[in-house]
Amino acid sequence: MPRKRRAGEPENPSPREDKPLAWLSGEIKTPPLSREARQEAGVLLRRLQRGDVLSMPESRPMPFIGPRCHELRVDDVGQKKEWRVMYYVGRHAIAILDVFQKSTRATPAHVIAACRRRVAEFRKVDES
C-alpha cells in the first residue's frame, strides 16, 4: 500500500537532493539588509540549492575568483543599496564565500583575495 502524501509535500518528489549551504563568511540578516532584500536573497539561494542555474541580472559568473564561482546581485531598493553574495557551486554543497554591500563598480581586491582563499580551502573538502 503506497504511503500517504503529507500536506505541502510535492506529488512527484525530485530524485535529486537539494545541496546544502556551507557558510564560510558573511550572513544575510535584517539589519543591515531590508526585509525585502533578505527575502530576495533567500529565494535566490533556495533556487541554487534546488539546482537552478541563475544568470544576469540575478547572478554573474566570477571566473577570476575560480571555476563555478558567482555573485548573487541583490538590490535593496528600500535602502538604495546593492548587496553581493559571493558563492561557489560545489559537488556536494553551495559555499557562501562572502556577503558585502556593493559601494563601487569594481569588486574590492580584499574581497576577491579572501574569496579565492576560501574557495581553495572548500574545494579540498568538497572534491574529496
What is the phi-psi region of residue 51: left when phi exceeds 0, alpha when psi lies from -120 to 50, beta otherwise?
A: left
Are 72 and 45 within 8 A, CB to CB?
yes
For residue 75 the three cell numbers come to 538590490
Mean pLDDT, rounded, for 18-44: 87
Mean pLDDT, rounded, for 49-76: 93
Q: What is the pTM of this model?
A: 0.82
**Across the strands, what pairs with 74?**
83
Position 13 pLDDT exceeds 50: no
- Please tell me the predicted confidence (pLDDT) of residue 1: 47
What is the phi-psi region of residue 80: left when phi exceeds 0, alpha when psi lies from -120 to 50, beta otherwise?
A: left
Mean pLDDT, rounded, for 83-91: 94
Measure the CA–CA gap between 32 and 14, rounded to whole angstroms.
35
- Burial label for 49, CB within 10 Å (0-12, 13-18, 19+), is middle
Domain boundaries, the chain: 21-126
